[in-house]
Structure 1
């Protein structure tokens, strides 16, 4: 099964057992000084054990002054020992190890103590950053070379030079960023000079048999005077002559809305960048890696079988399920936990320095805890009832089952999935619904499930149960307004489930994620939509990349968005705001959030019978799916 994906490939002297790559995704699992931690070793070892062909260790800083805290570093000899432990762990688990050599330019600003190197003078907030000097250029090139020697000593099988995403090397290459007037700027040949000098230094200081990859953007999106795909192809042909073996074709930059292409959310189509990679591959004749929301084995197989790319990056696919490759190879596709591109734990978690020590995953709370969260068998097997079959309840049920408990799930509806199903009803969100149904099917294969069953106090009183999990979810908040009888009004879930189909002018009250997805549903069906948000911003509960994509969609659909717009009352003409403005509409849709469903009677019944119980997910507080799944995982781990 998936014979093309699991065919071996040899590049110079490196042989890979399959075509699946874990890319160099930032984790923030390194120590403050950049040292490799046991946490990072366990994270990579789990993916190598899971069958990945090549693990590329992430954004490894080559230059100490510009190395941000908690980013992996290979800028000094003291780091070699830690990297050797990491490569040993990957090798011992059947994989190959690469390392991505990186100088992050303005991305170093994540750490206020790190030096920021820029290709040209640049306005950066209240400051003007001065362009890197020629002396500093020579220093950085030497640092790349020294890092390559350390990587060889540490046992890496290949190197990757990060030449994308407006980090320093890409900034030199792109005329949209490089405004220098010396030999490193101006003409295409001059702009190529710095990255080619780095490539030459790397090639000189690594073994002849070791492959050199470059990660490069297919083009510069939304960047005036940026690199075209034709220029990228021209550069890649030259890079090939300088000893580059593999093109890892990415897309995006961190200074425009095109940043959404770096870690593309669910709003961006699967394999959106592969046609670019296929063209670059065809015109350069180089081994090429396809990148961009390739999250199923079937899609990966199709892309390689159709001769579009030679290998595929499957990063977040292996965050969601470290056993992805093994399950696919063995034909157990139905057991794979698929990434849905929510970005809640990977990108948003990476950027949330104040609240999260490192990345996580909405679908896999074990990330960063691979060593300590071993899911050991329970000391005493218990009969556990899980009341509620949303994602929190299903996660708890699965973990409890894996630890040997006897689990029964009770769901009031006819389908498992809860609000996760609702999230998948909006246009372009089919993967979310599919994941909810998939998780439901996986749960039913593991434990006993009773659907269309409402658990009451009497059932608990009579039940043969040792512990109870209350995961009863949430319901839409209802608001009573003056004039409610004068204007048709419905809830967002009714619209998303197509239970009602408003027409004409429709106002959506609430500008959070649910309100935006409701507006998308209505506008895509031909309605003239206005979003009314009482706060001063729309989409405040969205992560930054999803917000870019969703707002672009709203603009394309001509959705009108009004902030600081508190709804006062309804009239036959429409909605009256607090300032007296009338918003004409024939229907109002409430999307003002959700409140926890009441579970206090069930809790009291448990207390009366002296049964330990746990309230989790939206039943505890209506939040994001990442919180619900994490709570389900944690309670399942502790019982």
Structure 2
């Protein structure tokens, strides 16, 4: 399939782009402690430029030295120009164009306590007597000037385009939004005054860049979850002001980090694909400006439809290019079926970004993210036959890497289908893309010419027949049993059997376990059961979900009327219901069915281990077969093992 609109050129002022695809500004934690570009960041951008992307934007880049947090890029001083020049040179040499996102972070700068927080109005700090003050006018003048100085440096560093970040609760957005801006001077009050600081920043940028250099602006379509915040009509009126001040293109996003609306900034699989496109369409029609659609646009067909229908002029394809840096090239060459699909799991790109334990962002679908140079696949000098036990997402990853390195992998799957628990997880509400991605990966493995044997559990006799040089065990985990009286009753089943459709439950249902799987079973049963109750021993449910998925799942549970019992232990199951204990008080809770969702336990592979040890066949255990964890870890381990064989 071809995508003529997506891969048509576009000219914005003096900049001609070869296609309509933007790789957007996304936090990576790849800049160093002192805010400089690193080789890791260069490699990350080069991989996407080589993959055919039209325009790469840097992640947020601080313009004002007193408000420039560590571990984020900065352009607040001339010393940053050489590193940024290396980045633009590398992107250009890879056939791409480079844009820089100029940023003043507001409350987000609090990640570095040494930096100044510039906000329109005072904000009390919870749990303390301290209140963050609203910015003085002198500070605003200095910050607006800093945007211009940053733009001047960006020109020196060789950037092709600039983006002014006016969304996501950062300083400019905070001034524009009446929810945050309660000033009574010339920077507060009506829209004209609230826009004043932003227009000063835009004018400062425009005065410091060539006439033929395009200026993009990232803007929220409207405020979500902020009572009395910006309406889309406010935003359209402001965009028209920005057009007069010199903005050329609108990058229409959504979200803020002061409320549950943060889910729109890095939208998880729970949000509909293209959920913000209609907003971009309206803003485009009512401003007449070049407009970029953003928000869960992750397939070339979807992007083509948006452009062909005239709803936007360009599209942001961000996490889909994290998952597959060759996304653009594969789509343009007619090989879109070979794209490794982003599933918006947020495990590596967002959860990894906010975790203090993860050094930089990663990706469940792409273990090479952030290690682009290190993970270039090397052909083997000693091809081996490798049996991969298990056709789940980890086993398929191992097989693909082995094949591309010149080995002979044989995937043996005990069931009649590939995809494993990744495909099963796709049975939960709103996760259809996960199932589709698992099926797609299996098809890619087969197209690669890898031998796949279904309904073939790996046994000692099968290994005798195949005589492998090495074995990878990726057989996953099985649901844990609940060892209490009554757990063997016919009314009791487990989460896997419910999601796979092997077990049918109805009436009043109690789910034992309030982690990710238990909650997804609760959502799955909505409309099938008359009452759903989740019993969780811990003080809260959803502890194993990332922040943004948790927001969405909890909202869905509330809307569905699911009952949540925390700090509650299930002691016994009987014909009437379950016996539970909460704060030392024992009671009986009536139900018709019980679903056990207390976790998973690695499947037994002792026989395979013994066989391989006896014959001195190297054996590697990866993913949930080693111990039950997130899919991110399973795929990463499988990739690493396959690289080393």
Q: TM-score range by the shorter chain?
A: over 0.9
Q: Is the 8 A contact 2:413 2:456 kept in 1?
A: yes
Between Structure 1 and Structure 2, how many residues are aligned?
A: 638
Pick aligned residue for 2:252 from 249, 263, 267: 249
Query: Aligned partners of 1:149 and 1:260: how far apart in 2?
Result: 34
**1:392-407 aligned within 5 A:** 392-407=394-409
The aligned residue for residue 587 of structure 2 is: 581
Structure 1 residues 486 and 417: alpha-carbon distance in aligned structure 2, compared to 1, 3 A threshold: closer
> Alpha-carbon deviations, 1:293-313, whole Å to 9, x = none?
000000000000011001000
In structure 1, the partner of 2:348 is 345
Give a deviation string over 1:277-324, Cα, whole Å, max 9, x none.
100000000000000000000000000001100100000010000000
Q: 1:127-179 deviations in whole A, cap 9, x for unaligned?
A: 31111111111111111111000000011111000000110000000000001
Deviation at 1:428, TM superposition (A): 1.2
- Structure 1 distance, partners of 2:608, 2:488, is 36
Mapped to 2, the partners of 1:458 and 1:402 lie a distance apart of 28
Q: Please say if 1:292 is aligned against 2:295.
A: yes
Distance 2:459 2:12 in 1: 63
Residue 150 of structure 1 is matched in structure 2 by: 153
1:42 pairs with 2:51: no
Choose 517-526 or 244-253, whichever is displaced more. Answer: 517-526
Per the alignment, residue 91 of structure 2 pairs with 90
SS at match of 2:568: coil
Structure 2: how far apart are the matches of 1:498 and 1:621? 26
Match of 2:414 among 409, 412, 415: 412
Moved over 6 A (4+): none
Distance 1:146 1:378 in 2: 51
Aligned 8 A contact 1:487 1:586 in 2 = no
Instruction: Indicate which of 604, 614, 624 corresponds to 1:618.
Output: 624
Aligned equivalents of 1:527, 1:391: Cα separation in 2 = 35
| Deviation for aligned residue 1:187 | 1.5
The CA deviation at 1:266 is: 0.2
Q: Retained in 2: the 8 A contact 1:344–1:626?
A: yes
Aligned to 2:332: 329
Q: Residue in 2 aligned with 1:591?
A: 597
- Cα distance between partner residues in 2 of 1:401 and 1:461: 22
Mark the CA change 1:205 to 1:281 in structure 2 (over 3 Å): closer, same or farther.
same
Q: Which residue of 2 aligns with 1:570?
A: 573
Equivalent in the alignment of 1:177: 180
Asked if 2 retains the 8 angstrom alpha-carbon contact of 1:474 and 1:594, the reply is yes
Q: Which residue is equivalent to 2:215? A: 212
Which shifted more, 85-94 or 46-55?
85-94
Question: What is the Cα deviation at residue 88 of structure 1?
Answer: 0.8
Alpha-carbon distance in structure 1 between the residues aligned to 2:609 and 2:223:
56
Give the alignment partner of residue 444 of structure 1, picking from 443, 446, 462: 446
Partner Cα distance (2:416, 2:30) in 1: 41
Does the CA-based 8 Å contact 1:267-1:428 persist in structure 2?
Answer: yes
Q: State how far apart, in whole Å, the 1-side matches of 2:618 and 2:142 are.
A: 62
Whole-angstrom distance in 2 between the partners of 1:359 and 1:123: 31
1:222-261 equivalent positions in 2, closer than 5 A: 222-261=225-264
What is the alpha-carbon distance in structure 2 between the residues aligned to residue 396 and residue 510 of structure 1? 32
1:15 aligns with 2:9: no
Q: Choose from 548, 551, 556 the match for 1:548.
A: 551
Q: Is the 8 A contact 2:292 2:315 kept in 1?
A: yes
| Residues 96/485 of structure 1: CA separation in 2 closer, same or farther (3 Å cut) | closer
**Alpha-carbon separation, structure 1, partners of 2:587 and 2:24:** 52
**C-alpha separation between the residues in 2 aligned to 1:152 and 1:228?**
34
Quick check: 2:21–2:55 contact (8 Å CA) kept in 1? yes
Q: Is residue 508–residue 529 contact of structure 2 (8 Å, CA) maintained in 1?
A: no
Is residue 510 of structure 1 aligned with residue 505 of structure 2? no
Deviation at 1:526, TM superposition (A): 4.5
Judge conservation of contact 2:509–2:529 (CA < 8 Å) in 1. Answer: no
| Matched residue, 1:464 | 467
Q: Contact 1:57–1:99 (CA<8 Å) still a contact in 2? A: yes
Q: Is the Cα contact below 8 Å between 1:487 and 1:570 reproduced in 2?
A: no
Distance 2:49 2:86 in 1: 14
Q: How big is the shift at 1:111?
A: 2.5
Cα displacement (A) at 1:108: 1.3
Q: Distance in 2 between matches of 1:451 and 1:485?
A: 31
1:191 aligns with 194
Tell whether 2:636 aligns with 1:630: yes
The 10-residue stretch of structure 1 (483-492 or 498-507) with the greater mean CA deviation from structure 2: 483-492
- The residue aligned with 2:389 is 387
**Which residues of structure 1 form unaligned runs of 5+?**
none
What RMSD, in angstroms, separates the aligned Cα atoms of the two structures?
1.1
Q: Which residue of 2 aligns with 1:121?
A: 122
TM-score by length of 2: 0.98
Partner of 1:360: 362
Give how far 1:582 is off.
Answer: 2.1
**Contact 2:62-2:104 at 8 Å conserved across structures:** yes
Flag structure 2 segments of 5+ consecutive residues without an equivalent: none
Q: Which residue of 2 aligns with 1:528?
A: 531
Match of 2:435 in 1: 433
Cα distance between partner residues in 1 of 2:512 and 2:487:
14
C-alpha contact (below 8 Å) 2:61/2:72 kept by paired residues = yes
- Give per-residue Cα distances to partners, 1:27-61, cap 9 Å, x unaligned: 11001111000000010000000000000111011
- 8 A Cα contact 2:377 2:643, kept in partner: yes
8 Å contact kept, 1:28–1:72: no
For residue 459 of structure 1, report the CA deviation from its aligned partner: 2.7
Deviates more, 1:428-437 or 1:109-118: 109-118
Deviation at 1:485, TM superposition (A): 5.9
Structure 2 CA distance for aligned equivalents of residues 14 and 123 of structure 1: 45
Give TM-score scaled by structure 1 length.
0.99
Q: Confirm or deny: 8 A CA contact 1:61 1:71 kept in the other structure.
A: yes
Secondary structure of the residue aligned to 2:60 is strand
Contact 2:179/2:228 (CA < 8 Å) preserved in 1?
yes
Conserved? CA contact 2:505–2:529, under 8 Å = no
**Could you tell me how far 1:462 is from its partner in structure 2?**
4.5
Q: Distance in 1 between matches of 2:324 and 2:14?
A: 30
Query: 3-state DSSP class of the match of 1:166?
Result: coil
Structure 1: distance between partners of 2:533 and 2:413: 36
Q: In 2, distance between residues paired with 1:113 and 1:598? A: 52
Taking the aligned partners of 2:326 and 2:560, their CA distance within structure 1 comes to 40
Greater CA drift, 461-470 or 182-191:
461-470
Separation in 2 of the partners of 1:428 and 1:277? 23
Q: Per-residue deviation at 1:487?
A: 6.5
SS at match of 1:555: helix
